[in-house]
Amino acid sequence: MKLNTPHTLKEIADLIKCEFVGDPNHVVTGINEIHVVVPGDLVFVDHPKYYQKALNSAATTILIDQKVECPDGKGLIISKAPFDDFNRLTRHFSPFKPQAQAIGEETVIDESAMIYPNVFIGHRVKIGKNVTLHAGVCIMDDCILDDNVIVGPNTVIGHYAFYYKKKPTGFDRMHTCGGVHLHKNVEIGALCTIDAGVTGMTTIGEGTKIDNHVQIGHDTVVGKHCLMAAHVGVAGCVRIMDRVTLWGQVGCASDITIGEGAIVLAQSGVGKDLEGGKSYFGSPCVEAKEKFREMVALKKLPQILDQLK
């Protein structure tokens, strides 16, 4: 999330009443979650395991729960509860805005778009030429739909990111202020859900086609000309390269990469990075030809055991 106006380190620290380390005039131009940070961004970290990842990231301001050595050119904000203060900042700069009408404020819809009855479109949405939104579609705040996008009935684009912190009182949700970007010629089936990025954009690349009942998590980036069959579930922060095919009921764990041209066969579970240009099967999935050899060998096991008697 880019700030409309850059703020200084001192201004940001004062907003959440925290101590800071660094130049008071150090500039903060954005607030982002660790997976999408760029120079100028503020990021939070609240566990020693991830200190170095945050401190060495592209982010130039770190909201942290301990005093540590401040890297050159960066600023620190010391907080007792970085997750909570990060939420306070994102809510301050991108507050939730209720909506009672079918189309939100600051939304731009090309006159050629076909909008069916009972479609809901949130604030600050951009809809391009020849877009088709079927009945019951919800396009939430800050989403972008490029030319020729088709969204099937009762699909939700840009719902809250599934991102929670466990506390003794229950689970606190990270405030969502990102969106979804559907590039040109993307087709989304019926009853799908594509969650917004926490502070950035969940992205579906040009020409990708997605079947019915597919879930894609926050901040995932899907490349160009991919195919996803029904009941595919993709977690948050996944990187799916161009021309990947995921067949029915494939499940992908978070923060993995699926290489260009990979094919994952039905009902497979992807728990680690997959190299491109190969076919995979199984849960956890391996190369399909290896898995099929295992299955053939397993069928022969009773015969082998009988021979050993």
- 72-124 confidence digits (pLDDT tens): 999 999 999 999 999 999 999 999 999 999 999 999 999 999 999 999 999 99
Q: Catalytic residue among 183, 218, 225, 231, which?
A: 218
CA distance 85 to 79: 7
Rounded to a whole number of angstroms, the distance between the first and last alpha carbons of the chain is 68
Q: What is the pLDDT of residue 299?
A: 86
- Are the beta carbons of 104 and 122 closer than 8 angstroms? yes
218 in active site = yes
- Are the beta carbons of 158 and 139 closer than 8 angstroms? yes
Return the number of other C-beta atoms located less than 10 Å from residue 81's C-beta: 17
Give how far Cα 87 sits from Cα of 40, 46, 63, 96, Å: 18, 13, 11, 12
17 contacts: CB under 8 Å, gap ≥ 6: none
Could you report the per-residue pLDDT of 211-237, keeping only the tens digit for each? 999 999 999 999 999 999 999 999 999
3-class SS of residue 186:
coil
Which CATH superfamily groups domain 2-93?
MurE/MurF, N-terminal domain (3.40.1390.10)
Q: Which residues does residue 17 pair with via DSSP β-bridges, in sequence order?
A: none
Q: Mean pLDDT in the chain? A: 96
Q: What is the enclosing helix (H) or strand (E) of 82?
A: helix 82-93
Q: Is-above-0.85 flag for pTM?
A: yes
State percent of the chain over pLDDT 90: 94
Whether domain 108-289 has CATH 2.160.10.10: yes
pLDDT band at 300; cut points 50, 70, 90: confident
- Are the beta carbons of 64 and 230 closer than 8 angstroms? no
Q: With 80 as the cut, is the pLDDT of residue 309 above it?
A: no
CA distance 180 to 139: 9
Full DSSP string of 163-174: -EEEETTEEEEP
Residue type present at position 244:
V
Q: With 80 as the cut, is the pLDDT of residue 240 above it?
A: yes
The residues spanned by each domain of the chain are: 2-93, 108-289
